[in-house]
Amino acid sequence: MSDGQLSPEIGGELLSATVKRLVLDRIVQGHYQPGERIVEFKLAKELGLSQSPVREGLRELAAVGIVTIHPRRGARVRLPSAKELADVSLVRAEIDALAARLAAGRISDTRLDALEGLVGDMVARLDAGDFSGVTEADVRFHHLIAEASENHALERAFEQLAPFARTFITLTLPDVDVREIVEQHRPILAALRARDAERAAEAARAHQLSVSELLQTHFPAALGDPAEVQESSPGA
């Protein structure tokens, strides 16, 4: 999806979801910085939309903590605290472990091949310095496993939490060596290919716990105090 105009023929619910994805992609890519204001009417004009689907898309992002919305001041990009991000990773550790355990006996060979391709994509993008691409492939990898679990409640939980780590890791990847964490996807894939539910669950849990440790270790040095970011933002 490009940053150009969106088709007015898309239904209202789908259109707000498209706006949500576009804004999230822009945050991940650094187009919108932490603390920056997202002006609803300007975004609507840029995309050739009414303000209603833009407003709804921003509300959906606010519901998962990616932006904040203040009366008369509109939406701003929110930077979660280090503890909040680490807490999310701890919850993700159990969600991803359950997804891998359930998927082990259900996942198709075609989907396993897709997972292998995504691991290769992560490594290639990391080598190229494409940090946004690394996180996109990472989210897709874990989402495919969540889908293979055939548990819709688990999928919804994953979709609610995934944006947190995605935004943080994209902002900090240039300063942190994450090759080991990227390589941790291989044991998950190997266990799934072996249809070993417990080993897959443990590998998925260990991976997310490593992400949690990364967040706790590098967040303050990489991005500073979120409160200071918000206070020092232009137009704050």
Strand order in the sheet with 67-70: 37-38, 74-77, 67-70
In angstroms, rounded to a whole number, what is the distance separating the alpha carbons of residues 168 and 66?
11
| CATH code 3.10.105.10 for 12-78 | no
In single-letter form, the type of residue at position 26 comes to R
For residue 225, what pLDDT is reported?
42
The model carries a pTM of: 0.74
For residue 85, what pLDDT is reported?
76
For residue 103, what pLDDT is reported?
98
For residue 134, what pLDDT is reported?
87
Q: Which residues of the chain have pLDDT under 70?
A: 1-13, 164-175, 219-236
Neighbouring residues of 98: CB distance < 8 A, sequence distance ≥ 6:
149, 151, 154, 201
DSSP state of 139: H
Burial 29-45, CB ≥16 within 10 A → b, else e: eeebebbbbbebeebbe
Domain extents in the chain:
12-78, 82-222
Residues paired with 38 in a beta bridge: 75
Pick the CATH number of 82-222 from 1.20.120.420, 1.20.1090.10, 1.20.120.530, 1.10.3720.10: 1.20.120.530
For residue 111, what pLDDT is reported?
98
For residue 34, what pLDDT is reported?
76
For residue 167, what pLDDT is reported?
63
For residue 95, what pLDDT is reported?
96
Work out the number of other CB atoms within 10 angstroms of the CB of residue 205: 21
Burial 79-103, CB ≥16 within 10 A → b, else e: bbebebbbebbeebbebbbbbbbbb
For residue 8, what pLDDT is reported?
43
Nearest to 200 by CA among 208, 191, 213, 209: 191
